């Protein structure tokens, strides 16, 4: 079934957990994530980032996301991740997405406020939730090698976060406090006191991007400090690749579906473990 962003985040708040938000830009990741969510029995956010348009269009993967989530008994939100312009987010809504993140984090503050506000108004007309972003997180979800180290100078300022939420009306806030997108090249040092300050200042659920590659203890501490949505992609895509390599190394394997099956199994194991860690962090 499909539920709204606010409903999923309220579930997280009630149970003292973070909701897993998994990018599924290939079919194997999508079916694996749905199976993992059904196995664990908690709401999950399925998302498609604009940067993955080069892999599959939001209309094509969106049709599959909406159809598979609708027929499942498990609750899912269908969320546009890192929308960089309002037209892309509108395309997502047309394709059946019911939630969106506008990423204006690299824009000057006033422009980020104005453009995020426009997205909130577009979404409000349809009863959908919006996540905004303030503070810059380095790296992206495309596996680029020159990434992996957070920059404290770009962390989110709590007072700006308060103003941003009040002026935009976002229902969730993505913030920078030590994570990066993609692979980590240095052990992350998350700022837990900053998470507490941001949760207090923002007054809406706090979102962690760059969720791959943290230890279970780091997830638990972030959740304890109030993070309610954790975005996850890179390590799921990485285990799919590792599984594919193993299968293709076998000269007796002739047909591609063996790769797809191995990748699906690998992603399901990886994403199940991630969702379970988040779900088990409840008070
Ligand atoms: P990772 O690349 O660390 O998995 O983060 C994904 C993400 O934040 C998507 O928005």
- Best CA proximity match to 200, nearest among 235, 168, 173, 236: 173
pLDDT at 104: 96
pLDDT of 144 higher than 60: no
The stretch 179-205 carries a mean pLDDT of 90
What is the DSSP pairing of strand 227-232 with strand 19-23? parallel
Tokens of 243: 């599984």
Reading phi first (left if > 0) and then psi (alpha if -120 to 50, else beta), residue 22 is in beta
Nearest ligand 1 atom to the CA of 141 is: 2
**How many structural domains does the chain have?**
1
The string of pLDDT tens digits covering residues 56-112 is 999 999 999 999 999 999 999 999 999 999 999 999 999 999 999 999 999 999 999
Distance 21 CA to ligand 1 centre (A): 9
Tokens of 113: 């406020």
Nearest ligand 1 atom to the CA of 234 is: 4
What are the distances in angstroms from CA 251 to CA 56, 59, 239, 242, 255? 29, 36, 21, 17, 11
pLDDT of 143 higher than 60: no
Distance 81 CA to ligand 1 centre (A): 10
Distance 188 CA to ligand 1 centre (A): 14
**What is the domain extent for residue 251?**
5-279
* Ligand 1 pocket, CB under 6 A: 23, 49, 81-82, 141, 181-182, 209-212, 231-234
Residues designated as active site:
81
pLDDT at 38: 98
pLDDT at 150: 64
By most ligand atoms within 8 Å of CB, the mutation choice from 173, 208, 209 for ligand 1 is: 209
The domain that holds 112 is classified in CATH as 3.20.20.70
């Amino acid at each position: 079934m499909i539920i709204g962003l606010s409903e999923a985040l309220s579930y997280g708040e009630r149970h003292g957990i973070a909701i897993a938000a998994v990018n599924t830009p290939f079919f194997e990741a999508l079916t694996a994530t749905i199976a993992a969510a059904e196995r664990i029995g908690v709401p999950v956010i399925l998302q498609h980032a604009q940067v993955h348009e080069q892999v599959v269009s939001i209309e094509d993967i969106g049709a599959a996301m909406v159809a598979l989530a609708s027929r499942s008994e498990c609750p899912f939100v269908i969320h546009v991740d890192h929308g960089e312009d309002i037209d892309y987010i509108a395309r997502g809504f047309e394709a059946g997405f019911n939630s969106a993140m506008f990423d204006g984090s690299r824009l000057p503050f006033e422009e980020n406020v104005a453009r995020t506000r426009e997205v909130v108004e577009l979404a409000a007309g349809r009863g959908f939730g919006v996540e905004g972003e303030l503070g810059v997180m380095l790296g992206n979800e495309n596996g680029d090698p020159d990434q992996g180290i957070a920059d404290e100078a770009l962390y989110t300022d709590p007072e700006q976060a308060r103003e941003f939420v009040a002026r935009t009306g976002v229902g969730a806030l993505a913030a920078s406090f030590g994570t990066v997108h993609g692979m980590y090249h240095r052990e992350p040092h998350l700022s837990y006191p900053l998470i507490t300050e941001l949760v207090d200042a923002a007054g809406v659920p706090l979102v962690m991007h760059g969720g791959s590659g943290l230890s279970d203890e780091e997830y638990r501490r972030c959740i304890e400090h109030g993070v309610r949505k954790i975005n996850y992609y890179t390590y799921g895509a990485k285990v799919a690749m590792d599984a594919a390599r193993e299968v293709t190394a076998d000269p007796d394997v002739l047909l591609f579906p063996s790769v797809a099956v191995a990748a699906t199994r690998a992603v399901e194991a990886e994403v199940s473990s991630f969702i379970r860690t988040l779900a088990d962090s409840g008070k």
